[in-house]
Structure 1
Amino acid sequence: IVTAAHCWWDGTNQARRFTIVFGSVTLFSGGVRVNTEDVVVHPLWNPSNVDSDVAIATIMHVNYNDYVKPIALYSGDALHVGTWAWTAGYGTTSDSQTSISQTTSQKHVSLRVISNAECRRTFRFIADTVICVTTQKTASTCAGDSGGP
């Protein structure tokens, strides 16, 4: 399972086990739930600047079906500026929201990939390993979406 390193280690605390939800669009019900066996955080993960914010979590097994399938990882040298990338998550839906509801359902959004140079105009410290996208006025990622596709 490819996920975000900061979901596992924040520079102080190291998580050892998470429950991964497969095949459900609701966070607290449905689907298949599998505990992780191990996690390997990228050796260059830096919580100060989010460089190399990636981790690999391993599980024993999950059965594939119509709702649980592997996804293809990008295999090119660089993401194409101007193309669209999908992201999904169960996180908050506004900056003022302070918790996630028990009825939270997965949301998704398509965001345009921009160059890291363009991204640095707004966010000063952007590492070359970061994929930058624009936000839409009506939708973007928010707190709690980390680690998802």
Structure 2
Amino acid sequence: MNAYAQVLLLALACAAASANQTTSTDEEHNPSNIIANGYAAYQGKAPYIVSLLLQNYDETPVDICSGVIISYDYVLTAAQCLRTEVVEVHFGAISRGNGQPNFKAYEYDFIRHENWPIFGYDIGLIRTPYVEFSATVNKINLPRLSQKNERFENWWATACGWGKLANGQTADRLQCVDLQIITNNECYESYGVLPSSIVCARTTSGKSTCSGDTGGPLVAHDEPVLVGLTSFNSADGCTFGKPAGFIRITSHLDWIQSNTGISYE
């Protein structure tokens, strides 16, 4: 998701900051370097995903992102997707920016995590009007309370979005890719020290999330729960083979509940 701002590592900083508190580099986590070699989704494959078109007040396009429906009136996404004035939200979309219902959300509808842009806190919410659920528009379940300490290591999961394809073109049709979640120790080999609020997935055979997928869902195969939100990829490129990085939902369940009232059992 080419969300124009750089994700910073383990320290409060702005996009121009050069300081780094870990063995990872800022450039490695640059969201400009964030599905490639995935597959086209059919209608209803991921009814919980929304297409986000980032704009200025004058409707000048800024970027694209994705979000995840977690209730009738809240969408979860990456905080970096909320650094704009307006976000056009498209529910039930297969084609990018062409879903029904759709509406425009403004800055006062955004809730960014108060600790962002500290690395690991790339999470935010969009308040939406009440949306009726259907076969093509529905929420995804959050992890249960009993799963709060679940790492989901070695689980298979699906990530979806409208980001760049392997040919470098931005997808018009929703794409999905199946990835295996790995340990943070394995992810360390590529990025250095990572906070526990990051979850990584192995990207083999060039299959990965890519630029334009930020804020999109990572959903477990065995049990349809939201494991993560697409956040970063290697600066080397999304098909280079380094792990894809996501925000770990279990690390932010209390934050989600306190800001939405949504409880998890």
Cα deviation, 1:52-75, whole Å, max 9, x if unaligned, reads 110011112222111001110123
Which structure 2 segments of 5+ residues have no match?
A: 1-74, 218-265
Identity fraction in percent: 25
For residue 112 of structure 2, what is the aligned residue in structure 1? 41
Partner of 1:53: 122
- Quote how far apart the aligned CAs of 1:80 are: 1.8
SS in structure 2 of the partner of residue 40 of structure 1: strand
Q: 1:117 aligns with which of 166, 185, 198?
A: 185
Q: 1:78 pairs with 150, 157, 179, which one?
A: 150
Match of 1:32 in 2: 101
Matched, 1:92 2:160: no
**Which is richer in strand?**
2
Given the alignment of the two structures, is residue 62 of structure 1 paired with residue 131 of structure 2, yes or no?
Answer: yes
Measure how far apart 1:125 and its partner are: 4.2
Is 1:134 the counterpart of 2:206? The answer is no
Equivalents in 2 of 1:145, 1:41: separation in Å?
18
Provide Cα deviations, 1:59-115, integer angstroms capped at 9, x if missing partner.
122221110011101231233210012110000013x62x536xx000001111111
C-alpha deviation, 1:127, in angstroms: 1.9
* Superposition CA RMSD, Å: 1.8
TM-score by length of 1: 0.83
Amino acid across the alignment from 2:98: S
Q: Distance in 1 between matches of 2:117 and 2:92?
A: 31
Q: Which stretches of structure 1, 4 residues or more, deviate above 3 A after TM superposition? A: none
Letter of the 1:46 counterpart? P
1:4 CA drift (Å): 0.5
For the 8 Å contact 2:90–2:98, the answer to whether it is kept is no
Conserved? CA contact 1:119–1:132, under 8 Å: yes
Q: Which structure 1 residue ranges, 5 or more long, are not aligned?
A: 10-14
Indicate conservation of the 8 Å contact 1:34/1:62, yes or no.
no
Normalising by structure 2, we get a TM-score of 0.49
Match of 1:5 in 2: 79
Aligned equivalents of 2:94, 2:177: Cα separation in 1? 14
Distance 1:78 1:44, change over 3 A: farther
Matching residue within 167, 170, 173 for 1:105: 173
